[in-house]
Structure 1
């Protein structure tokens, strides 16, 4: 809409316009162009009218599923998740069909991922009906969002693709189950590539230092180039299997079971459990315990580099304090302050450039003066000036060397601090997700106990029957009459044989038998039935 039209539009038309531009989450998207910054009063007046029109739209068309959010939040720990949020046949769909295309696509993707996740035995982070509140961090749901927005190898699009990202994570867990139950083959190219890449990364991290004249950069580039040549399946095998296993998969399934037991005991899980070679025969509770161990493996993966980076931070910090550059600055345990608080890098660069210019200036001035002066006295003065210049050059070179050492030391400290901060953030995200999964275990056990089952299909599937989504249910039932459901199975009733109606051939045979029996009893012949003549 043009700015002039927006200013001159009536209140009724403004309400209708805002109804069309309303998104499913209740927000309004009103593209207005050709604004003139001199229209300050008109803009203020239009803002008041838009606010009043928004209240009018909310009164006329309230959003579905808006209720007491406190009760909804309380149901997060008690609700039994199902792929279809319960709603009546007359309820509106979960999103407006006239919504923006990207929002409709987003809701459809989340709805499909939600159903797929539940059908395969996973547990969503929240009920589907409060997806918008969680995605926008409303009513204290930011912690749930932080679990899935971890920034690791999973592709993060926006905060609104919560169930899509969680479904991808669950699929990776299923592949993790499959990889750990497969037979280890040392000649398998995936395993060979995985071991070689892991060894190269260890060598790069352990042996290369910042003072090696670019060797670390060359080795890092060579490792990255080699990794980029791997096929996607091999890269997935390396990143999400090899680097998560302590033995890189060489122990096979027995080694995997021992590793899971050790990892769970390390994190305080003392219950006994036994994994099945076939995940399809494994019960839901054990499958969920295995998923908790999978999340703990990600925690351990980021814990190791975080500890190494923390050790590097401590070592470089001691060197900084010993050199006097850390005086007056507190070393925080979080290592979040930038290293510029310890020593200004920009000032170090300026000092380097100034020292170089000063050395070059003194050298040039001395050479020019020696060329101009020819007398013996001038030569003596020149020698004295040259000696003073050489002394100054030596001092500046020493300053340059100290500047370079300080610069590299601070750069090293900053590198360790950045690695520590990144791994610490990823570790916190995975640790929160592991704690959430651990808190879901009693709910899984309660569901299994209520359903009266302890195993079946895929080891964790809730039902093998296909279920329709809530959106499909809303679309199909809207505007249609309710179909009468067939009656349930009745109790079995024993019917006497004589009461069962006979077929036509059986009835004829029964009459003939009864007539013959009657004739034998009376001793008389049975009357013959006359045949009817056909009409000519």
Structure 2
């Protein structure tokens, strides 16, 4: 097995990620071994998370492919690179391997990207963010492996977050922590909007603090210096190639203008680069921050004030009165008092306010159904009177078939195009009809069903949203007694502690149940299970 030559250039993972396509191919060619393989020295790759390891492996494979296109010799084998990156990121107990392109090298098959594991990692992150933000998870994190293994067994638990509640749980319907986190973030935004709270600068300051902390934990000063030097080298290379010059002086006015333009573009796009000043760093973070806030509002689909009865014209006191009217209308008669400072509210009050927010969506969907009902009835009567329907065929059957085929089409599981899906509804059992009559019958049936579909799609969409919202509201209402029980348990522990009992009990310093108690239901196992990102299993402590 050929060892790495001493001339191999050692780069950091940031250098590799920053390469252009041309630079990547050139780097791979410079580090090609005599046997056709590649000897790569990459600093810091063993500390990368799983998703970044996958990305690095794909980049190296692309570079190797480009290098092989130019120099056809012994085919490169970077499967071992990918396998090793994944092995290290998953903390598997294996011995270091050399990257070899030798045909005699015995290797295991290249592991496929495990999208399910990636999704689990994203769910864990979403769960923790949801709990930290004061929200409640659909189920305890300790059950996640079981839910992922057999989601249909937990159908009732997952139901409030299903796009099509009437159908079986699919693989992509399992990731409910991320969905609930998104809803909770929008609710928090709604809270501030209805109190005229503008804490954007405070949020931005906290965002900067988080980014700085993460940067300090993931980046060494010496590595930054090396990366900055190589980043400037790449800019010189790009400048020479663009301007067709042989030598570049760092003080050349043309080169300085080129670098300044690169920085301007990076700031505009929210892209960080090595060696940026603190002011430039904050400008980039501002772009990231603004994009996140804008995308969150766009994800709602409508301005949030449209959910208010007065479209947001009333002040906070009117918002409180509206919330009480809405909840009483839906049969929720508990006494509560919202605070102009939402951070001073206890968990139950905040949850009741969240209930009002979701009832606001329910009322909106209900208004849409009522508004579209008369048009729907008329369109269905026209279709029913046409004589093209089969005996006993109902509007619900036609609508459900349409929804099911549309769902399959959006997820890539339908064998039909959109026109073919409509035609499929029209041609069912047409083989029983004589050929000449079948064409005219099928065409007329298809035309009428297409018209019915176009004119009633908004109705079916609103009705399905109303159904889904009803499932979500039932879950929210079920959480009210659970929150009360947790609060009572916490109060009892505080009281015992005040009298000198249960000194070892966990008591939060902020006057509310601890994260563990808020995150797991009372039925959860006593031993909390933590699933670490990048591992293949769980560790219980």
Which TM bucket (shorter chain)? 0.3 to 0.5
The alignment's TM-score, normalised by the length of structure 1, stands at 0.43
The alignment's TM-score, normalised by the length of structure 2, stands at 0.43
Q: Which has the higher contact order (CA 8 A, sep 6+)?
A: 1
Quick check: which has more Rg, 1 or 2? 1
